[in-house]
Amino acid sequence: MTARATCLHRAVDLDGFRRAVYDIAVSAQPFDVREHFVVVPTGAAADELRRTLEQFAWQDGHAALCLPRIGTRGDLLDTLAARLAPPPSRLNAFDREVLLARAARDARDAGAEPPFQVRPGLVAEMLLLYDALRRQLRTVDRFEEFLVDELAASDDHGAVRMLAQTRFLAAAFHGYEAQVAASGRDDEHTLRARLIAEPCARPLRRVIVTVTDRVADPAGLWPSDLDLLARLPGLTHLDVVATETRLAGGWLERLHAEMPGIDERAVPAGAGRRPVCLVPSTDAWIFTSRDREDELAAFARRLKAERRAGRLAADARVALVVRRPLPYLYLARDVLGRAGIPYDTRDTLPLAAEPIAAALDLVFEWVTGNFTRAATLAVLRSPHLRFTDGEASLAGAAVTALGRALADARYLGEVTRLTSLVETWSALPERRRHQHARQALPAARAAALAAQALQPLRDPQTVATHVATLLAFFEVHLRPLDDADPLHERETRVRAAVLGACRALAEAYAAFDPEVTLDLAVVAAAVRRWLGAQTFAPATGHDGVQIVDAATAPYGLFDEVQIVGLIDGDWPERERRSIFYPAFLLQSLAWPEERKRLEGARAAFLELLGLARERFALSTVSLEDDAVVEPSAFVHEVETLAPPRQVATADGTTRIFPWEALAIDPPAPDVFTGDVRAWAALRLARSPRGAPEFHGESGPWLLPRVSVSRLERYLDCPFKFYASQVLSLEEPPEDEDTRTPLERGLFLHELFERFFTAWMAAGHGAITAALLPEAQQRFEALANEALATLSEGEAAIERLKLFGTAGSPGIARRVLAMEVTRGGQVVDRLLEYEIEGAFTFTAVDGRTRELSLRGKVDRIDLLADGTFHLIDYKTRAVPDPKRALQLPIYSVCVEQRLAGYRGRHWTLGDASYLSYEGTDPLVGLVKKADDLRGRLAEAQGQMLDVLDGIAGGHFPPQPAERSLCNYCAFAAVCRKDYVSDEPAVAGTAGPGAPAGEDGADA
């Protein structure tokens, strides 16, 4: 065993911490340092430390400095593996998952039945558990022995499940180890054993550990790493460098337990003074913003104001310290980019967040959803894909038309259906093609061809076959990159990484599980998870504000620091819990205690408070994803430390974002140039925001024809009426899996019309209790005839609606029984009664107007007492009676039309909706008969108001109920956001506004 010196370098502060690493590097110049390795938590920290060491060397007057190798614990293993002769063949992460998935399948086949379904995501979790176990220096036998002992004694349901799970996991882990051995390649654990057992010709001589252990730092060393360093052949020096703050957080105690007898060396404090804490006021230590975007904007504003005031030197190094790079890296592009503040980051982004990964996901959804209409449109519209019809690229209008045409054709998916639609539309002579189908044909042809190419993915295949099909698709359809695009280089790298991940997955299956066939959904889940786990380093390519994560920050030199996003759950981070076992069981297998983890996290935070050489600030947010969040409890640590502070007053007047040239008074459009300047001038010349035009006033408009249902839309929301009737915007089509509401309504109308015509022809009047069985029998016979004309599936749905079940009578029984309950003698029934002509309407306030109307009443029952019952069939839920105009207005019209019919006067006795939807199929216009005349008068007034509103061009976005906005097809073109939050503008008439004199008389 190699004799080695172990030394703990105890630094008073971060300056001393970095200097200690530098001193070791300098002491080994120039050649020995190449045999040194510095362990840091992240790749970004390695970059930052290299920069810091070079800066120290420059300050100390060294012409050149040979740097040691610097990397994470994973990089250390790679470096050591590369020095073995011959270098070992390694299993990559894809290989390992495939091996474990296969071992899990074998374990289950051998009788170790797991209490869950083994999905790819679960295999990844199993691998995490296995790795954690082995890194805690526990064997699979020890794991099984301990847990079986603990769980076997209990007959509790949970314990029984966990016991079965343990036996399954142990069998799978044993199988995995056997397969690793059989593969002739090494994973992390077998490699570690080889590194200890096999001396290498050119060993690393010195390892400098600058991280803590895994207990306090997710990127820290595991017991297996410390064991390796203690036994590694050829290693003569092992140094641990840490600040007193981190040591006091439990690291010192654990280090002495792991390395008894380690020497200690005190590292003096750096020359810097205690940093000043910038605070928003004398009674607060932390800046609070609404959300992370506002937080970044406030940071940018403060930075610019400080620089302009000369309080921050132009060359000062500024760091924004984040817990995780996201979402700050994305926000920085917008917020700092627009504020003209350059920034730099060495952090990585998840590959899954790159747009090309979204395109891959779209294709997965398209195939697994069986090529539905919405997914087809999404794929055709993806900016990362390119589809052509012949040589021509698809126009956006063709894709939009395809959406309509597929909805019209009630397309619900399947390649064969899509192909047959293309054939049908192509075969029709041009003049007979429906407009949508004609415009849609190019997009339909392109979609059908692409779907045919992907159709093989619908069947279970080997992963290699699935991936080959996918790659062939992308080969044809990935949009070529434009060389002049500034994102060209990044996009090229990302595409290579994403498609490379697919290839690596296929290669792993081909090597270790070549026969298995999988559904695409399983492959898609594996790829998605992989992309989520892989990261990608974007090249920001600027100097400027450094965006660094909390683990990386201590390795850099910064004058000014802001620690952002200090919310509960991030500082400290919540622990990622095992999905297999509760914490108390895992602790018995050497998993760290939560208390120790929190102590370590607190120490790391305290260390960051000493990072800045000049000043630091802390900030938090109130909202995260629109949910209220609490500030981190760590904020109280600042109060305890009580650093010197300086109030940084908020600056609301400095313009830093382009839009503030217009948003802050007085406007300064001169800062813009070219088109932007012209646009800004136009915008400033625009009518003021308080002008009626901003609030739905469009000017007089002539309603071409009075339609009561359209007036009801105005009552729902005037702007909705404006969008659909004045602007003629089309509503997005819906996918109908059965017949449309219109078709279903017609079916119901015709059925009841046939029944009542036949009923009256048979000499019957009202349906009485005595006649009810006969009525039901007749209705059923007619219904069966009608249902026979429908498809089997549609007939089953309609039958259920009509006749219900044993516990819930259908619409037919309830309608027929209604007549029995209503009583009265029916002398006539008017079915599908047309009303057309001029009618007089009188409001409660005495306004009277004659209007021309046309409509059709579904059914009118004339009773012997001179009253009539008006019934309107509804295929959807009945409208809100307060806004429903059709029943009362038609009732008024019918009263006028029936004057003298059968030689007498008829008055409305009742009015009801008969609906397919809702619990009650028959809904009266009013609850009490006494209210009927009042509702008629009120509805006439509403109608006159609405007509006046329309004629006057009053179309404010004022929904009768806010919930209507949730389902509104015009939400995207509606200014509801700011209009609804402001008081009504004087002079703006809503639905209930007084009538003007220019009322619409159609």
Residues near ligand SF4, by CB under 6 A: 717, 719-720, 957, 959, 964-965, 968, 970-971, 974, 976
Rounded Cα gap, residues 677 and 816, in angstroms: 71
Output the smallest distance, CB 707 to ligand SF4, in A.
Answer: 19
Nearer to ligand SF4, 563 or 723 (CB): 723
Output the smallest distance, CB 882 to ligand SF4, in A.
Answer: 16
Nearer to ligand SF4, 249 or 957 (CB): 957
Output the smallest distance, CB 968 to ligand SF4, in A.
Answer: 3
* Other C-beta atoms lying within 10 Å of the C-beta of residue 269: 14
Q: Label residue 955 exposed, middle or buried (CB < 10 Å: 0-12, 13-18, 19+).
A: buried
b/e for 185-211, b at 16 or more Cβ within 10 A? bbbbbbbbeebeeeebeebbbbbbbbb
Output the smallest distance, CB 725 to ligand SF4, in A.
Answer: 12
User: Helix-strand-coil percent breakdown of the chain, rounded to 5?
Assistant: 50, 15, 35
Output the smallest distance, CB 254 to ligand SF4, in A.
Answer: 59
* Other C-beta atoms lying within 10 Å of the C-beta of residue 682: 10
Output the smallest distance, CB 710 to ligand SF4, in A.
Answer: 14
Output the smallest distance, CB 984 to ligand SF4, in A.
Answer: 13
Q: Please, are residues 229 and 207 in contact by the beta-carbon 8 Å criterion?
A: yes
Length of the chain measured in residues: 1002
Instruction: Give the residue among 613, 603, 615 at the shortest CA–CA distance from 244.
Output: 603
Output the smallest distance, CB 702 to ligand SF4, in A.
Answer: 21
Nearer to ligand SF4, 145 or 693 (CB): 693
Rounded Cα gap, residues 167 and 114, in angstroms: 8
Rounded Cα gap, residues 434 and 682, in angstroms: 41
Nearer to ligand SF4, 957 or 991 (CB): 957
Nearer to ligand SF4, 917 or 977 (CB): 977
Nearer to ligand SF4, 403 or 959 (CB): 959
Residue 6 bridge partners (DSSP): 238
| DSSP three-state, residue 613 | strand
Name the CA radius of gyration of the chain, rounded.
38
Output the smallest distance, CB 787 to ligand SF4, in A.
Answer: 38
Output the smallest distance, CB 705 to ligand SF4, in A.
Answer: 22
Handedness of CA 842, 845, 849, 854 (dihedral sign): negative
Rounded Cα gap, residues 78 and 561, in angstroms: 34
Nearer to ligand SF4, 280 or 991 (CB): 991
Looking from the CA of 487 toward its CB, the CA atoms found within 13 Å total 9
Place of tokens 């095992």: 578
Rounded Cα gap, residues 141 and 145, in angstroms: 6
**E strand or H helix that includes residue 104:** helix 93-109
Nearer to ligand SF4, 174 or 710 (CB): 710
Q: Please, are residues 163 and 149 in contact by the beta-carbon 8 Å criterion?
A: no
Rounded Cα gap, residues 256 and 250, in angstroms: 10
Measured over all CA atoms, what is the biggest interatomic distance in the chain, rounded to whole angstroms?
Answer: 122
Nearer to ligand SF4, 817 or 971 (CB): 971
Output the smallest distance, CB 840 to ligand SF4, in A.
Answer: 32
Output the smallest distance, CB 963 to ligand SF4, in A.
Answer: 9
Output the smallest distance, CB 706 to ligand SF4, in A.
Answer: 21
Nearer to ligand SF4, 608 or 974 (CB): 974
Instruction: Give the residue among 632, 38, 564, 560 at the shortest CA–CA distance from 307.
Output: 560
Rounded Cα gap, residues 929 and 912, in angstroms: 12
Nearer to ligand SF4, 574 or 962 (CB): 962
Rounded Cα gap, residues 67 and 943, in angstroms: 84
Q: Please, are residues 624 and 561 in contact by the beta-carbon 8 Å criterion?
A: no
Nearer to ligand SF4, 522 or 984 (CB): 984
Nearer to ligand SF4, 175 or 959 (CB): 959
Q: CA geometry: angle at 284 spanning 283 and 286, to 5°?
A: 170
Tokens of 485: 């695009």
Place of tokens 């009927």: 932
Nearer to ligand SF4, 788 or 972 (CB): 972
Output the smallest distance, CB 962 to ligand SF4, in A.
Answer: 8
